[in-house]
Amino acid sequence: MSQAIARKEAPLQQVPDHPLEDLIRSDRIPHIWCPGCGIGTAFAATLAAMKASGQDLSSTCMVSGIGCSGRAAGYVKLDSFHTTHGRAIPFATGLKLGNPRLNVVVFSGDGDLFAIGGNHFIHAARRNIPLTVICLNNLNYGMTGGQVAATTPYLARTTTTPAGNTEAPFNLPLLAWAAGASFVARWTILHIRELTDCIQKAMLKNGFAFIEVLGPCPINYGRRNKEKPLQTLKLYQEQTIIRNQADPSDLEIDFSKKVVLGEFVDKERSTCIENYDKTCRLL
């Protein structure tokens, strides 16, 4: 019916494309993500931000690791690299150092970037390698069926913590801040306008920029923790509070209290590329 309305008011040939059509590999859509999965929204926000950033898109690349979130690189119509589990950041590091004119965006999951790939994350932040790293945090390993992750809340149920998670999760912005990231923020997929503006800002930042995006995994995490996708989104709406420049140590994710969102770090620090050029290319 809506299609019909659209057609009535604008003749068929004038139906405009989706505003992000030119940035997606339409021949691969629909994507693999489940109904209600948060990855698609965060991915769309990333594309919108790329477009809005005014950066030269022909020299903009996306690098992903492995996981549901890691499939993002397969849907963007840019030079895109779907690498190995946990290794998106070191691959991106080589890409950026191999050609510093490239804008490199890493889009991957919490398990990929912070469990198997945690070491690479802290070192890239320490080096201040100019990358935009977007972590879709769905609090578990979605792709492999919902196992515990380094971000799974205390006592949450996953397939490998059937009695509840006995470990404490990472506070990702705190980790990024401590490792030296130039830009650190957190949003949810409900805060799309803020998220899109934030990714745009991060892309224009000359330094290591990290954005955590909370998004639901209704199929695995949601189901086992009795959260329907819309309930998760309500949590994002009701149980969050925006506090820019918040103290990174106050950023634990505990939806029984308020979860803090916002831009927490935005500082200037010379990048490893600038330092290398200054120090090693004296000749």
Partner 1 sequence: MTGDEACAEGALAAGCRFFGGYPITPATEIAEHMSERLPGVGGTFIQMEDEIAAMASVLGAAWAGQKSMTATSGPGFSLMMENIGLAACTETPCVVVNVQRAGPSTGLPTMGAQADMMQVRWGSHGDYEIIALAPCSAQEIFYQTITAFNLSERYRTPVFIMTDEIIGHMSEKVVIPPADQIRAEDRPKPQGRKDRFLLYKPGPNGVAPMPAAGDGYNVHVTGLTHDEKGYPVMSIEAQEQMMTRIKNKILNNLDDIIITEDHHLEDAEIVIVSYGISARTSMAAMQQARAMGWKVGFLRLVTVWPFAERQIRALAERVKAFVTVEINLGQIHLEVTRAAAGKAACHLVGHHGGAIISPDKVLAAIEEVL
Partner 2 sequence: MMEYWRTPFDAQTIQVSQGIVHIIEDRCKGCGYCIEFCPKHILAFSPRFNKKGYHPPEVLQPDGCVNCHYCEIICPEFAIYSVEVPTAPGG
Ligand X SMILES: Cc1ncc(C[n+]2csc(CCOP(=O)(O)OP(=O)(O)O)c2C)c(N)n1
Residues contacting residue 84 through CB under 8 Å, at least 6 positions apart: 65, 66, 91
Q: State the residue for tokens 């198997």.
A: 116
- The answer to whether residues 59 and 103 touch, using CB atoms and an 8 Å cutoff, is yes
Q: State the residue for tokens 């290319």.
A: 281
Question: Binding to ligand SF4 by residue 34, rule CB under 6 A?
Answer: yes
Shortest distance, position 89 Cβ to ligand SF4, whole Å:
20
Q: Is 9 exposed, middle or buried (0-12, 13-18, 19+ CB in 10 A)?
A: exposed
Site string for Mg ion, 135-164 (x = CB under 5 A): ---x---x----------------------
Q: Per CB under 8 A, which region of 38-46, 179-187, 209-217, 275-283 contacts partner 1?
A: 275-283
- The answer to whether residues 78 and 62 touch, using CB atoms and an 8 Å cutoff, is yes
Q: Considering only residues 12-71, where is the footprint of ligand X by CB under 6 A?
A: 66-69
* Closer to ligand X by Cβ: residue 111 or 248: 111
Question: Binding to ligand X by residue 72, rule CB under 6 A?
Answer: no
Q: Per CB under 6 A, which region of 139-147, 154-162, 229-237, 244-252 contacts ligand X?
A: 139-147
Size of the site for ligand X (CB under 6 A): 17
112 binds, among Mg ion, ligand X, ligand SF4, none (CB under 5 to 8 A by kind): ligand X
- The answer to whether residues 37 and 187 touch, using CB atoms and an 8 Å cutoff, is no
What is the rounded (10 degree) CA torsion for 178, 183, 187, 189? -120
What is the rounded (10 degree) CA torsion for 21, 27, 32, 37? 10
Q: What are phi and psi of 171, to 5 degrees?
A: -95, 100
The site for partner 2 (CB under 8 A) is made up of 1-3, 5-6, 9-10, 15-16, 18-21, 24, 29-31, 33-41, 43-45, 48, 189-194, 196, 229-230, 233, 237, 242
The site for Mg ion (CB under 5 A) is made up of 109-111, 138, 142
The site for partner 1 (CB under 8 A) is made up of 25, 27-28, 58-59, 61, 63, 73-74, 77-84, 86-87, 89-99, 101-102, 119-120, 123, 276, 280-281, 283
